[in-house]
A and B are shown apart, each in its own frame.
Chain A
Amino acid sequence: MPSPRQASDNVLSKLKPVLTKRWLSPSAWRLDVYEELDGYKALRKALRYRPGDLVEFMKESGHRGRGGAGFPVGMKWQFVPDDGQEHYLVVNADEGEPGTCKDLPLMMNDPHSVIEGVLIGAYAIKASRAYIYIRGEAVHAARRLRHAIAEARAAGYIGKDVLGSGFDVDVHVHSGAGAYICGEETALLDSLEGYRGQPRLRPPFPATHGLYQKPSAINNVGSIAAVPHIVLGGAEWWKGLGSENAAGTMIYSLSGRVKNPGQYECSLGTTLRELIELAGGMEEGHELKFWTPGGSSTPMLTAEHQDVPLDFDNVAKAGSILGTTAVMIFSDQDCPVVSCWRWIQFYHHESCGKCTPCREGNYWMVHVYERILSGQGKPDDLKLLEDACKNLLGRSFCGLGDGATSCVTSSLKHFRQDYEDYIEGRKQPLFHADMIGAH
């Protein structure tokens, strides 16, 4: 009999390494090793198709964006007009959503898969330049990507007349400088153009008015890295790996109170219960209390939601968002109020300041949280938080403001008692009122 901590065969069969397949091969980040492991075969295949056929193929595959919103990749590429203007492909490697930690290991362990995806994508939308916008702190991953690009250029995969196909393309890595908002695609574009990273009004979407106001496809690292696999495996294969309305595999990033946090690539639609089992169970002495299905901007769920299939539709039905499948797992030893306080501090710090609801709303919420956590909270404070969220949700200029409300409203819904315990003095204040100037 297997020990209770060992994942059962049943749950092990949920693991479907595709994007993470090469992570275990030593030095798969080197071009020669990558080529031995099917590297750049998909590019050769793709170049035999007409660009429009590739776009059609991506639509058929049902592949949806991995950057959090799940927009169909093929459809986005199709929205890029075929009008003879200069086009751009931009990869969003800003990975800033708290909890999200899949893109950096992807770029570290398998950088060529990202580059190969970029080349295929650029060919499909007829872009001759691509930029990979990577968060500034990820110096190691940027270095690895640059090295891989140099290798690919020397081998004739990047540059003029790629593999004799007549297709010219150049790829560059562009490092950001520490601003979460630059992950929002239009803020990213402003940043890439050399400005402060503040979101632009959409529509028009970047597909028609993107980098330098030219048609641009912006895709997440994971969306792009899947492309070579889909091209080689076929649309039906990719669809078969997932569940209904959710093609393919997903890298679930498990962090927090499990024995073995890490990246678990499974079919879309795997449940939290299964993921926890894959991760060796909960940490000793910890019991599941709350968790996020897809990062800090997705409403938290509770132990009752352990059997929700984690795909786009089912998570939405359960009242949250699949987001980036950044599954942060908290236990009975963690406090939802403290967690929200830290997250709201984060949103306050990262708000770009362009619109009032977000700039002021987060500022005030930080104060209310500090008041509550210092034992000075009033019963009305919970209503105040709810009102602040009402003024933010749907009234902010970009998704950051909306995202900030998720943890607040969901924790008030599921864990009101924890707030009341601070307010009514049943719980020891986290800090003294003088320390934070609460009043």
Chain B
Amino acid sequence: MTYGDRKAGAWPEKIHEQADEILKRYPQGRERSALLPLLHLVQSVDGYVSDEGIAFCAEKLDITKAQVQAVSTFYTMYKRSPAGDWLVSVCTNTLCHAKGGQRIFDALSAELEVGHDESTPDGKFTLEHAECLAACDYAPVVTVNYEFFDDMDEEKSLDLVH
């Protein structure tokens, strides 16, 4: 979902409602626990954790923007700049690496002409190395927007981006 015409600070009612639902999962006075889910929420709207997203979380939880920023930068899944429509993550941890994960990464990198954590100029794809994705029995593993593709090879992974 995208809300392209959103002005800074003006979040759709639906997002406010979702945020309030998330807050209810935690005990009263412990709302800060909702920070990670809220960051996921704002990222799902903007495609990355934007300044507006940070402000939104800070306001909902009554903490400072610096506090939100400090948390968001700790976690790999929160992107700091606009990511492509499709986030292609290739596991290159040892087991997948042994079974061809690096070759897959290199093939995708050559095809898309981007390196790790880079996006194609048309904004379609972002490529990244991933660490073990807990699916080693299906190695080598590639995910596209966190949907898992098992037992990959160079050819099959190139099909994913064609």
Interface residues of A (CB under 8 A from B): 86, 95-101, 103-104, 129, 135-140, 172, 174-180, 191-197, 212, 253-257, 261-263, 296, 326, 328, 330, 334, 338-339, 342-343, 346, 349-350
Contacts of B25 in A (CB 8 A): 172, 174
Interface residues of B (CB under 8 A from A): 25, 27, 30, 32-37, 39-40, 61, 70-71, 74-78, 89, 92-95, 97-99, 130-139, 143, 146-148
Contact present for A136 and B40 (CB under 8 Å) = yes
Contact present for A350 and B33 (CB under 8 Å) = no
- From B32, B132, B137, contact of A98 by CB (8 A): B132
What is the CA–CA distance of A177 and B41 in the complex, to the nearest angstrom?
12
What is the CA–CA distance of A38 and B34 in the complex, to the nearest angstrom?
35
What is the CA–CA distance of A194 and B27 in the complex, to the nearest angstrom?
13
Contact present for B36 and A99 (CB under 8 Å) = no
Contact present for B139 and A261 (CB under 8 Å) = yes
Known: A99-B136, A178-B75, A326-B136. A194 touches B36 (CB 8 A): yes
What is the CA–CA distance of A349 and B94 in the complex, to the nearest angstrom?
14
- Nearest chain A CB to B3's CB is how many angstroms away? 21
Contacts of B39 in A (CB 8 A): 177
Contact present for A330 and B98 (CB under 8 Å) = yes
CB-CB nearest in chain A for B138? A261
Contact present for A101 and B136 (CB under 8 Å) = yes
What is the CA–CA distance of A2 and B134 in the complex, to the nearest angstrom?
34
Contact present for A346 and B75 (CB under 8 Å) = no
Contact present for B75 and A177 (CB under 8 Å) = yes
Contact present for B76 and A101 (CB under 8 Å) = no
Contact present for B95 and A256 (CB under 8 Å) = yes
Known: A175-B40, A177-B76, A179-B76. A135 touches B134 (CB 8 A): yes
Contact present for A129 and B93 (CB under 8 Å) = no
Contact present for A255 and B75 (CB under 8 Å) = no
Most chain B beta carbons < 10 A, residue from A194, A263, A326: A194
What is the CA–CA distance of A129 and B89 in the complex, to the nearest angstrom?
34
- Nearest chain A CB to B86's CB is how many angstroms away? 14
Contacts of A178 in B (CB 8 A): 75-78
- Nearest chain A CB to B132's CB is how many angstroms away? 4
Contact present for B71 and A342 (CB under 8 Å) = no
A-B contact pairs, 12 of them (CB 8 A): A98-B95, A98-B132, A129-B27, A135-B134, A174-B36, A195-B71, A253-B137, A326-B136, A328-B136, A334-B98, A338-B98, A343-B94
What is the CA–CA distance of A338 and B97 in the complex, to the nearest angstrom?
9
- Nearest chain A CB to B133's CB is how many angstroms away? 6
| Chain A to chain B: the 3 pairs with minimum beta-carbon distance, closest first | A178-B76, A177-B75, A194-B35
- From A194, A328, A346, contact of B32 by CB (8 A): A194
Contact present for A197 and B35 (CB under 8 Å) = no
Contact present for A177 and B94 (CB under 8 Å) = no
Contacts of A350 in B (CB 8 A): 131
What is the CA–CA distance of A266 and B89 in the complex, to the nearest angstrom?
33
- From B33, B95, B132, contact of A96 by CB (8 A): B132
Contact present for A177 and B134 (CB under 8 Å) = no
What is the CA–CA distance of A51 and B131 in the complex, to the nearest angstrom?
40
CB-CB nearest in chain B for A95? B134
- Nearest chain A CB to B63's CB is how many angstroms away? 8
What is the CA–CA distance of A353 and B75 in the complex, to the nearest angstrom?
13
Contacts of A96 in B (CB 8 A): 131-132, 134
What is the CA–CA distance of A100 and B132 in the complex, to the nearest angstrom?
9
Contact present for A101 and B137 (CB under 8 Å) = yes
- Nearest chain B CB to A222's CB is how many angstroms away? 13
What is the CA–CA distance of A43 and B94 in the complex, to the nearest angstrom?
41
Contact present for B93 and A194 (CB under 8 Å) = no
Contacts of B136 in A (CB 8 A): 98-101, 253, 255-256, 261, 326, 328
Contacts of B36 in A (CB 8 A): 136, 174-177, 191, 194
Contact present for A256 and B131 (CB under 8 Å) = no
- From A139, A196, A338, contact of B74 by CB (8 A): A196
What is the CA–CA distance of A179 and B76 in the complex, to the nearest angstrom?
7
Contact present for B37 and A328 (CB under 8 Å) = no
- From A100, A103, A136, A261, contact of B77 by CB (8 A): A136
- Nearest chain B CB to A328's CB is how many angstroms away? 5
What is the CA–CA distance of A253 and B136 in the complex, to the nearest angstrom?
9
Contact present for A101 and B92 (CB under 8 Å) = no
Contacts of A253 in B (CB 8 A): 136-137
What is the CA–CA distance of A57 and B93 in the complex, to the nearest angstrom?
40
What is the CA–CA distance of A350 and B129 in the complex, to the nearest angstrom?
13
Contact present for A137 and B75 (CB under 8 Å) = no
CB-CB nearest in chain A for B146? A139
